[in-house]
């Protein structure tokens, strides 16, 4: 960690020559390392999330470093690794394969009867598995070095490798998932590691993940609901409609947040799909859904989680897109602020 700040002014403009948030740290000087994963192979509606990491990085230079809730956490050092161009290239190619498959399915076609599309499906499944393995290796090596790790996607399939890596270092933990969707589909559209299957895969492949707490869910299918109802010891869902009903009937957001925090175990991983927010804050995200939260509501939830004494062990931020639907760049602006807040709370809970 840097001990001499004489040449760095945290109140000045964010320098492009520095790293994330304009901070002057190298990877060796940083307690927290961020892995960008520019990947969007299986998105089922709108593209653009592969450019999330680079756009968040750009907008992060506009984030003021003072945080009234977690002051001076940045002094522990944050560093975002450079994007791996091979991962981006692989995503671009496999996305074209996936689009052919999705187009066929949306027209009522049968992939099983098409040898070419069967081959494309295998390529996609092999490629997404490769991405998961790459994320695991990258993040596990960082964890072995004693680094805190966060992941910046990319679509929501990207953090499985990080969650598996954390399972190598923690015998038991839970996940706080902020999301409009359950992501509990089994191989959605035939893609084993689909963005819509991330939590299904975590539940099946990561036994160390003891309890999944989903917040803001408002778009889901019968199978996902059945899975939630059939596994109450491993899944608790706070549906968006029920949250709002409780508020309409007089309950405070504080009371609801306390219920959410109480449902989580001592160690917590945060998975933040930006579409958990009101779509006005993320209009370009891949699958926007009416409803959702104001950003301040989620930051208040994070504050109560921190106050509870529970330990945050890692996080991901995903589905921050850069599509052509708006021109003001609000998605990445919001994403950069979400990322900064999660960085601060992760560092602040390190020694718990």
pLDDT tens across 298-329, in order? Answer: 999 999 999 999 999 999 999 999 765 555 67
Per-residue pLDDT at 226: 98
pTM summary value: 0.96
- Measured over the CA atoms of residue 52, residue 91, residue 17 and residue 23, the dihedral's sign is positive
Joined together, the tokens standing for residue 104 give 């066929």
Inside any domain, residue 4: no
Inside any domain, residue 166: yes
Inside any domain, residue 82: yes
Strand order in the sheet with 311-318: 78-80, 32-37, 148-153, 311-318, 267-273, 173-178, 209-217, 235-239
Nearest residue to 178 (alpha-carbon basis) of 344, 338, 309: 338
- Confidence grade of residue 2 (pLDDT, cut at 50, 70, 90): low
Q: Does 110 score more than 90 pLDDT?
A: no
Per-residue pLDDT at 208: 98
Per-residue pLDDT at 340: 98
pLDDT tens across 35-85, in order? Answer: 999 999 999 888 899 999 999 999 999 999 999 999 999 999 999 999 999
Any idea what the CATH number is for the domain that residue 231 is in?
3.40.800.10
- What is the domain extent for residue 87? 20-348
| pLDDT average, residue stretch 17-41 | 96
Q: Are 48 and 40 in contact (CB under 8 A)?
A: yes
Per-residue pLDDT at 193: 96
Q: Which helix (H) or strand (E) holds 178?
A: strand 173-178
Q: Does 34 score more than 90 pLDDT?
A: yes
Q: Are 154 and 134 in contact (CB under 8 A)?
A: no
Inside any domain, residue 3: no
**Separation of first and last alpha carbons in the chain:** 20
| pLDDT average, residue stretch 325-334 | 76
Inside any domain, residue 12: no
- Whole-angstrom distance, CA of residue 81 vs CA of residue 26: 10
Per-residue pLDDT at 16: 85
To 5 degrees, how large is the angle CA 286–CA 185–CA 336?
Answer: 35
Per-residue pLDDT at 17: 86
- Tell me: cis bond preceding 154? Omega within 30 of 0 counts: yes
Inside any domain, residue 30: yes
pLDDT tens across 240-297, in order? Answer: 999 999 999 999 999 999 999 999 999 999 999 999 999 999 999 989 999 999 999 9
Joined together, the tokens standing for residue 287 give 């699958």
Number of domain units in the chain? 1
Joined together, the tokens standing for residue 325 give 């639907």
Joined together, the tokens standing for residue 213 give 């707490």
Q: Does 3 score more than 60 pLDDT?
A: no
Per-residue pLDDT at 45: 84
Per-residue pLDDT at 327: 52
Joined together, the tokens standing for residue 234 give 């491993």
| pLDDT average, residue stretch 126-136 | 98
Inside any domain, residue 11: no
Joined together, the tokens standing for residue 119 give 């081959």
Inside any domain, residue 15: no
Nearest residue to 257 (alpha-carbon basis) of 312, 305, 212: 305
pLDDT tens across 159-214, in order? Answer: 999 999 999 999 999 999 999 999 999 999 999 999 999 999 999 999 999 999 99
- Whole-angstrom distance, CA of residue 206 vs CA of residue 168: 10
């Amino acid at each position: 960690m840097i001990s001499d700040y004489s040449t760095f002014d945290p109140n000045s403009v964010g320098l492009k020559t520095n790293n994330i948030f304009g901070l002057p740290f190298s990877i060796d000087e940083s307690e927290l390392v961020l892995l960008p994963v520019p990947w969007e192979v299986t998105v089922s509606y709108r593209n653009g999330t592969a450019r999330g990491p680079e756009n968040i990085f750009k907008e992060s230079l506009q984030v003021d470093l003072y945080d009234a809730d977690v002051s001076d956490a940045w002094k522990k050092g944050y560093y975002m690794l450079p994007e791996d161009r091979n991962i981006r290239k692989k995503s671009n190619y496999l996305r074209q394969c996936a689009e052919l498959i999705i187009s066929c399915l949306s027209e009522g076609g049968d992939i099983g009867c098409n040898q070419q599309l069967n081959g494309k499906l295998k390529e996609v499944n092999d490629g997404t598995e490769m991405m998961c393995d790459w994320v695991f290796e990258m993040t596990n090596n960082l964890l072995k070095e004693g680094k805190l790790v966060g992941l910046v996607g990319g679509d929501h399939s990207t953090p499985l490798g990080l969650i598996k890596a954390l399972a190598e270092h923690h015998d038991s933990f839970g996940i706080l998932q902020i999301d409009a969707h359950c992501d509990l589909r089994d191989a959605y559209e035939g893609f084993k590691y689909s963005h819509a299957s991330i939590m299904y895969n975590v539940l099946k492949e990561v036994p160390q993940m003891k309890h999944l707490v989903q917040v803001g869910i408002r778009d889901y299918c019968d199978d996902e609901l059945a899975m939630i109802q059939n596994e109450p010891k491993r899944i608790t869902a706070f549906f968006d409609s029920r949250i709002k009903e409780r508020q309409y009937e007089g309950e405070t957001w504080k009371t609801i947040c306390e219920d959410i925090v109480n449902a989580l175990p001592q160690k917590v991983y945060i998975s933040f799909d930006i579409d958990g927010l009101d779509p006005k804050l993320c209009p370009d995200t891949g699958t926007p859904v009416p409803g959702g939260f104001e950003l301040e509501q989620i930051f208040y939830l994070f504050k109560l989680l921190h106050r509870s004494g529970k330990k945050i062990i890692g996080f991901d931020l995903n589905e921050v897109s850069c599509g052509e639907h708006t021109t003001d760049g609000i998605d990445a602006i919001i994403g950069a602020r979400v990322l900064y807040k999660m960085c601060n709370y992760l560092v602040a809970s390190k020694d718990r």
